[in-house]
Amino acid sequence: MGRLEGRTALITGAGSGIGAACAELFSAEGANVFCADLDVDSAQAVADRIKGRSRNAAAGSVDVTKRGQCEELVSRVVKEFGGVDVLVNSAGVTPRKAPLDWDFEAKWDWVIDINLKGTLLMSHAATEVMLEKEYGSIVNLASIIGLVGYTAGLSDGFNPYPHSKGGVVQMTRDMGVAFASRGVRVNALCPGFTYTNLTKSLTDDADMRVQLESLHPMGRLGEPIEIAYAALYLASDESSFVTGSCLPVDGGYTAQ
């Protein structure tokens, strides 16, 4: 019997990277999985792979910065699967993906809107359903850069990514305490540098990749599945006494 047998997991950013790894792993552990992404074709491809193994999965588009879309998404998952037991907030961006002609303020607004506000809006919609059942687990994707500053030379001090992920860390703690007595747990993962679409521009540069590897005591970067296994722990009842925590999965990065 799988560790999420019979549960329903809603995963944003499920079209690639950590979100996709969570979707496939959660499905293998018995969950019904709804794959949500702004790129609905990518989300559908992940859902199709899951269904190809005779698991229950569906996909849909969502812009996590739009409250109405977040609420409609949760309502759809409830209608199709009967509820939402697990929410993984994996949708996120980095200023490296922003248009080149944007200034620092435009990039800041865009990143904060998706990474922080998007986590807020999806959590708000999901908790309304979870609190009715007095059961649920929310797993937020924060970052090591939500716990510590960038290494000198990797940021000009106005990079919105650490600002957004630091906000996710504090949101996780606040929500974790607020819902602790009501059956809903809220935790966050703080991955080290991991091979995903968000880091591809860095890891494709051989010199930069070597520099990033050297920042991790294990001497390498993470793989999405390694983060997904930590998410599985927080999503399952194995972590039933864990809430408000922010778990580094970082090859020792933040232990230095």
Q: Given 150, 161, 229, 233, which residue is catalytic?
A: 161
229 carries an active-site annotation: no
Paired with 9 in beta bridges are: 33, 86
- 160-178 vs 104-111: helix crossing angle, rounded to 10: 30
The torsion angles phi and psi of 154, rounded to 5 degrees, stand at: -95, -5
Q: Is 246 left (phi over 0), alpha (psi -120 to 50) or beta?
A: beta
Residue pair 139/175 in contact by the 8 Å Cβ criterion: no
Strands of the chain, DSSP E: 8-12, 32-37, 57-61, 86-89, 136-141, 184-191, 246-249
Q: Tell me 53's DSSP state.
A: T
Q: State the catalytic residues.
A: 161
